[in-house]
A and B are shown apart, each in its own frame.
Chain A
Amino acid sequence: MKRSIALVWILLLVTAFAVAQDATIVFVDGFVDIQTEAGAVFPADFGDELSAGDRVITDRDGEAELELGTGGDVVVAPDTVFIVGATTTPSGQRTGRLSAAIGSFSFRFNAAIGNEPRVGSTTSVAGVRGTEVRVYTGSDGTTRFEVIEGLVEITDGDTVVSLAADEAVEVAPGSGAGNVFAFLEQPINYAAWNAALVEDFLADPIDSLDGVSIEMAELLAEIERRAPGIEERLAQSDALGEELVKIGEENGTEARQEFLRETVAPFRNELRDDFVDFRFVVLSALSLRQFVVARMAGEMDAAYFLNPGDPVYRSFLDDLELLDDRFEEVVVPWLVPSDL
């Protein structure tokens, strides 16, 4: 309960202190919703501004176009959950991160080379250089990258796969990138591609779930690595808040304002950036559970609804329970109900 209250507080802080808008909605067709980092959901409209952590959700007839603050356009296709993210590179530079939790989007960079966002899904990410690229995320977690212009580099563990124009690759959860292949410039039929992935999954559900479990384990490890630091900074922020009140009571409004301006605000701005990075990982884990694992398990429940004693199904459920136990232990403490 204490964690939930702290989470709600920091989510409000993120919203209140949001300074840079990362993207703006410039076109909407059909049903498109925005789910903010703090969990509010509302229909998307022209001119709506998005910050890191916000999601754009299109229905089967919905489509949206976004303009990125750093340059570049994104077209979010129907039946897609698109996440606007941000991340800090090892060199300390803040950069955008665009992901499809499910569905597809295309991205075209149209600004000076050097600050392109990273693109991909919750399980696979690519660095881009002066690129036009399409990204598809399937219901089994497979990510497909198609490069129309420029260069894309997909990092998967120690392996780097480079794609030039007219080349594509599919990255399956847990087993990495397949062979690079040439593709026709027209977008694929997402529904047909995804249906084939689901059939492949049902043919070998245990291995498929194992692959997704590997990706989930990586996200959970990242959360576990960062969580203590976030906890500590949240506690520091609380202490600063108490000190601010004390200074106001003892030394007056001017001293309070100075402490707020010089100490509290810079600390909270830094905390906000760290927390947005952290939340991106948390929401990636949630999206993987919500849109990939749930679909896989739902398909299994449906396929075996009349035959729940089947050993393949029972074995799948056992593996799913292990995945869910870890998810509940590591991710759920950082979620609020409005995240769903």
Chain B
Amino acid sequence: MRLRLLGILAAVLLVAACATIPPSADDDKVLELVDLWNATSAAEFSSRVGNPFLFGTQVLSSSADIEAVLARAKANGLLLTPEIVGSSDSVSVDGVDRFGVGVFAEQLPPDARHVLVPSTAGTVSLIVGGEAEGLPMLLGIQRRN
């Protein structure tokens, strides 16, 4: 009886813990987002990106700009490999000494996470955080060679 109670308690704790894990901390969900980058158009993918969005060293803050720049990157062959080769909960962003990038970095959500994935442009750094339709949102992409 006591063992059964402990089992139920453990299951409840496990469910509660799972419920509080943000999508950005779940590798499978991050990889699902990576798959969507490769499989959908920039217009479709734009509902899964944050605004402002960091592309390279530029902070884009209009949804039209974000979609256009992502479309350009995809049209120029930027494909991501669904494999996480490194990650960190402390997000380091190149170019934080500039005002726009510095403010972007300061205002990242608490669950923001830095994920490294291979790509057609070498290893890239993805900043993921928040949530849209059950997956983390893509908040930024930087080249990391």
Interface residues of A (CB under 8 A from B): 59-60, 79, 81, 102, 139, 191, 195, 198, 289-291, 294-295, 297-299, 301-306, 308, 324, 327-328, 332, 335, 337, 340
Contact = CB atoms under 8 A, between A and B. Distances in A.
Given A297-B56, A298-B55, 15 more contacts: A60-B63, A60-B64, A81-B62, A191-B64, A291-B65, A294-B59, A294-B61, A295-B62, A295-B65, A297-B57, A302-B73, A305-B143, A328-B99, A340-B52, A340-B103
13 contacts: A191-B64, A198-B68, A294-B60, A295-B65, A298-B65, A299-B69, A301-B69, A303-B76, A305-B73, A306-B78, A308-B145, A324-B98, A335-B99
B100 A79 contact: no
| Interface SS of B by simple majority | mixed
Given A290-B100, A328-B99, A337-B106, A139 B76 contact: no
Interface residues of B, number: 31
A291 B66 CA distance: 11
B84 interface: no
B72 to A, nearest CB: 4
| Interface SS of A by simple majority | helix
A195 B76 CA distance: 16
A295 B68 contact: yes
B58 interface: yes
Nearest to B70: A302
A298 B63 contact: no
Nearest to B64: A79
A340 B61 contact: yes
A308 B72 contact: no
B85 interface: no
A8 to B, nearest CB: 15
A306 B68 contact: no
Interface in B42-99: 52, 55-65, 68-70, 72-73, 76-78, 98-99
A294 B63 contact: no
Contacts of A79: 62-64
Contacts of B55: 298, 301-302
A194 to B, nearest CB: 8
A37 B59 CA distance: 21
A239 B58 CA distance: 41
Contacts of B143: 305, 308
Contact of A337 (B58, B63, B70, B107): B107
B69 A340 contact: no
B120 interface: yes
Given A299-B68, A328-B99, A306 B77 contact: yes
B132 interface: no
B12 interface: no
A98 B63 CA distance: 22
Nearest to A289: B100
A306 B58 contact: no
Contacts of A327: 99
B8 interface: no
A200 B99 CA distance: 28
Contact of A297 (B58, B104, B120): B58
B121 interface: yes
